[in-house]
Structure 1
Amino acid sequence: MNTQHEKLRMMLTAAVFAAIIGILAQVTIPLPLVPITGQTLAIGLAATILGARYGTLSALLYMLIGAVGLPVFSGMTGGMGVIFGPTGGYIVSFVFSAFFIGWYIEKTAANIRHAFVANLIGMIINLSFGTAWLKVIAELSWPEAFAAGFVPFIIGGIVKALLAAWIGIQVRKRLASVRLLPQSSQKHPA
């Protein structure tokens, strides 16, 4: 296939994943400062399936769409106020988390074990950045920020990392088998 067509297809796929992130963001369990959402699962899926470049693009598109005011963030919210609010650090970290997950899988092997490790580390990136942001924005002490912004999300994060790895690798295999992923994404099929 023509590389221009392949690039366009992958950019459109990244846009679809940005929409999926926005949809899963609406799956929430409310907590006092930061809710548990499906966003991190969607970020893990995007990065596991699409790799570093297009997984990161999907996270970036999601963040930008929400930043301009479309209600794609948790609780059907959007705008710069959310980005600069208590949960903004988690949203900004999605770009870095997606890049790392995709990069790690590309550098190791596209299998469930490596995808799980990548998604676990991605979760730590997300929670660390979000907790640091929460500490500054909410003017909390480090123990308070850690208790509110990190600890409640560990178990759910592990479960979402496992789901993103398992589902992501299965979808990635199927897309590769019908040649819907570029050749570079098929480098290490599981």
Structure 2
Amino acid sequence: MSNTKSAYTTRMIILSALFAAIVAVCAQISIPIGPVPFTLQVLAIFLSSLVLPPRYAFLSLLVYDLLGAVGIPVFANFSGGLSKFVGPTGGYLLAFPVAAFLTSYINQKKPIKNDIVNTAFALISGLVLIYTAGFLFLAAAAHLTLKKAFLVGVAPFIIPDIIKLAVAYLLASFLKSRKVLNIA
């Protein structure tokens, strides 16, 4: 039993690192449209949240944030450093691990009995958390009104992010149905 648990833990740590790398790659697919760039991070964050258990989803995004914090250019436009956490996108970055945990937790606990509705609720809850922390921090860091911060830090992303959530759901469903990642 101990070997099985150890193998599972090792696999989860490796998958967490893999998803941190996937988020870093998706962050580089970036279109600067203002203080908050359009990236594919949300797709990767929520894919990890649907595939990994809560603590490993959190770990994956924490590793991503820590890599960026020490200066490794994993954030959008090959940037990194502690300054990113106090700049306009700091709230989004700080929210990523918590949103990953929350989404994974809701998705696994299934408070709503309908699987698709539960997953949609989990994904939207995580996205709302990222948006809320992100635009509030953006308002403070960029000296914007809450309305202006919402208009530049949330509004342009809602429809593209809903599409990314749907793609994350489809990819996670595919990976799980094919047992690609060999997660129980």
TM superposition score normalised by structure 2: 0.92
Report the counterpart of residue 187 of structure 1 in structure 2.
none
What is the CA distance between 1:179 and its match in structure 2? 7.8
What is the CA distance between 1:32 and its match in structure 2? 1.4
What is the CA distance between 1:93 and its match in structure 2? 0.6
Distance 1:174 1:53, change over 3 A: farther
* C-alpha RMSD of the superposition: 1.7
Which of 52, 56, 59 is 1:57 aligned to?
59
Pairing 1:33–2:49 present: no
Q: How many correspondences in the alignment?
A: 180
Which of 150, 170, 175 is 1:166 aligned to?
170
Instruction: Kindly report structure 1 stretches of 4+ aligned residues shifted beyond 6 Å.
Output: none
Aligned mates of 2:53, 2:177 — CA distance in 1: 13
Aligned mates of 1:110, 1:41 — CA distance in 2: 23
What is the CA distance between 1:110 and its match in structure 2? 9.6
Structure 2: give runs of 5+ residues left out of the alignment: none
Which of 87, 92, 107 is 2:109 aligned to?
107
Kept after mapping to 2: 8 A contact 1:17/1:58: yes
Report the counterpart of residue 124 of structure 2 in structure 1.
120
Report the counterpart of residue 147 of structure 1 in structure 2.
151
TM superposition score normalised by structure 1: 0.89
Q: Deviations over 1:13-38 (max 9, x none)?
A: 10011000000001112111111111
Aligned mates of 2:177, 2:107 — CA distance in 1: 13
Aligned mates of 1:179, 1:158 — CA distance in 2: 25
Q: Deviations over 1:91-150 (max 9, x none)?
A: 111011101110011111794443232112211111111000001111111111111111
What is the CA distance between 1:173 and its match in structure 2? 2.8
Which of 133, 137, 141 is 1:133 aligned to?
137
Kept after mapping to 2: 8 A contact 1:51/1:105: no
Percentage of pairs with the same residue: 36
What is the CA distance between 1:72 and its match in structure 2? 0.4
Which of 33, 44, 47 is 2:46 aligned to?
44
